[in-house]
Every structure is written in C-alpha cells, then in structure tokens.
C-alpha cells in the first residue's frame, strides 16, 4: 500500500463527500486547487516528505517575468533566508501556506499545457524558497517534463544540497539569485552564507541547465564595485550556462507587507539606484562578457 493511501482523511472521494469541502476548497490566490482536509501534523509531515502535498502561498499566470513565454508561477511557502529587501515576507513560514495535493497541481499544469507549448512557456516554482520542498517540486517537474512542459526553478540556491543530480536533470532553466559576491555582505543581506549558491550554480552548469542570474542592486548595500566584481567572478564559474544577468534595481513595493506584518523593516528609507549607478553595474558585468538586462 502506498504512503498516500495510508492517510486517514486524504482520499479524493472523502473530500468530495465532506460537508466542509466547498467551504475549505482554496479560493483567491489558490483558486482551483484542492486542499487536504483534516490532516493532522503527522500526516502532513509524511505527505510533505513524499511530495504528496506541498505548502503553497499563491499562483498566477504571467508572461516575460519568471522565465520565457506564458508561465504558471507557483509561490511556495517557507524560506530559510531573511533578505532585507524581500518583497514577500508573508512567504517566510511554511505553516502560513496552504497544503495542496500533488494531483491537483498536476491537473492545473495539464490544463495549461497547450498554452505553454504554444508560447514557449511552462511552470515556474518560486517562493519563498521552493527548495524547502524538494520532493513536491521535483515530482511536479518530472510530470511536467513527461508532458513536454518547460520547467523553471526560481531560487537562491541556498538549499541546493536538498536536490539530487537526478532532480536537477528535470530543471530546464534556473533563475538563480546571486545576492552578493562578498561573504560579509551576503550575511548582512540575507542572514545566510554564500557558498551554497556558488555550489548549486556550478552543479547546474555541470548538467547543462540554463541559468538566468538575478542580482538586486541596493545603493549602500550591494552596490560597491568590489562586491559587483565578485558577483561577476562567481558567475564566470557557471560558464556558458549563464544566458544573461538581470540587474534588478531595489524598490519599495514590498514595504507595506513588512508594515502589515509588524516586522521591523531595515530598508525603510532606502532609495532605488540612480540611472548612473545602474549603468555602471551593468557595464561591470558586460566587461566580463555577459549579456545584461
């Protein structure tokens, strides 16, 4: 008997006959997904480990934002980092997301499969940090690949050790956040350490996975010439896998969420980069031979 069949309250027919089904079916940002009803903590942990459920914050359909073509971007809940400029602090805790069936996710991908193929799009897992839930994400990617759907992982790479080489093989594209090239600055920005990002990027490159590097330019925090130079040097170790580097100017769109959640916001008075500063950073990357946006 499979693990999912051992759960006491997760069989689909029980969901459909449950009086609470209509009320508890996820709506709004998770409209169209079925949420497991009545799972106790032990069941949820077991299902998370096998990838039978994933904790999801929200999802949307977009173009030219989270990879090529028209994409279904799924924002997973949970993140080990605490980036000063995070736009989505409401995704930090996995328990704040909603558990979604693997089967429900696959049905959603199937629904849009023809659109993805027609536009060169696909499915992107973002967050939070989707690598906190490797079993769920990798199972969905495997199924998507079997449908001929393009897969994209948006990640800091901080939890790269969670992924096996076999799981990496199902990633067509990685949007890899290289948040700093300097270890001390990386610690200041994220609360974490830099090396796992480097290691994961090199593993992606070794398997031929395409990489779009993302670097957030924050005046007074990540903008020093030395820091940018080190980011460029790190990207060089990823070789030809790097298709381009996105220099993303800091903005304050995430500040209201920090206020709403009553979390002290470290960049309260920070400004976005000037055109001159962004031009200088873009040129630094170009001087290393990268295509830069």
Domain ranges of the chain: 4-177
Q: Which structure tokens are listed for 72? A: 């279904």
Beta strands at 122-126 and 98-101: parallel, antiparallel or unpaired = unpaired
For the domain spanning 4-177, the CATH number is 3.20.20.70
Structure pTM? 0.87
Residue pLDDT, tens place only, 248-268: 999 999 999 999 999 999 999
* Burial class of residue 40, CB neighbours in 10 A (0-12, 13-18, 19+): exposed
Where does the pLDDT of residue 44 fall: very low under 50, low under 70, confident under 90, or very high at 90 and above? confident
Residue pLDDT, tens place only, 54-81: 999 999 998 878 999 999 999 999 999 9
């Amino acid at each position: 008997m499979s693990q999912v069949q051992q759960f006491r309250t997760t069989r689909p027919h029980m969901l459909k006959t449950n009086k609470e089904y209509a009320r508890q079916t996820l709506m709004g940002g998770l409209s169209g997904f079925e949420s497991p009803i009545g799972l106790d903590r032990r069941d949820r942990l077991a299902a998370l480990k096998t990838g039978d459920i994933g904790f999801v914050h929200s999802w949307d359909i977009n173009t030219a934002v989270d990879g090529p073509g028209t994409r279904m971007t799924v924002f997973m809940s949970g993140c080990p980092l605490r980036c000063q400029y995070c736009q989505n602090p409401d995704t930090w805790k996995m328990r704040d997301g909603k558990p979604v069936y693997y089967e429900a996710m696959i049905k959603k991908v199937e629904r849009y499969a023809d659109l993805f193929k027609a536009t060169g799009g696909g499915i992107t897992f973002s967050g939070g940090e989707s690598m906190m839930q490797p079993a769920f994400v990798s199972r969905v990617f495997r199924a998507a690949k079997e449908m001929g759907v393009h897969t994209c992982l948006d990640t800091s790479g901080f939890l790269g050790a969670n992924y096996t080489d076999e799981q990496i093989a199902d990633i067509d594209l990685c949007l890899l956040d290289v948040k700093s090239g300097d270890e001390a600055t990386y610690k200041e920005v994220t609360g974490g350490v830099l090396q796992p990002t480097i290691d994961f990027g090199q593993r992606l490159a070794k398997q031929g996975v395409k990489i779009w590097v993302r670097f957030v330019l924050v005046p007074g925090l990540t903008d020093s010439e030395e820091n940018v130079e080190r980011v460029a040097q790190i990207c060089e170790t990823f070789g030809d896998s790097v298709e381009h580097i996105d220099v993303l100017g800091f903005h304050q769109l995430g500040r209201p969420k920090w206020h709403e959640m009553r979390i002290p916001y470290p960049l309260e008075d920070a400004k976005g980069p000037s055109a001159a500063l962004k031009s200088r950073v873009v040129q630094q990357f170009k001087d290393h031979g990268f295509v830069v946006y």
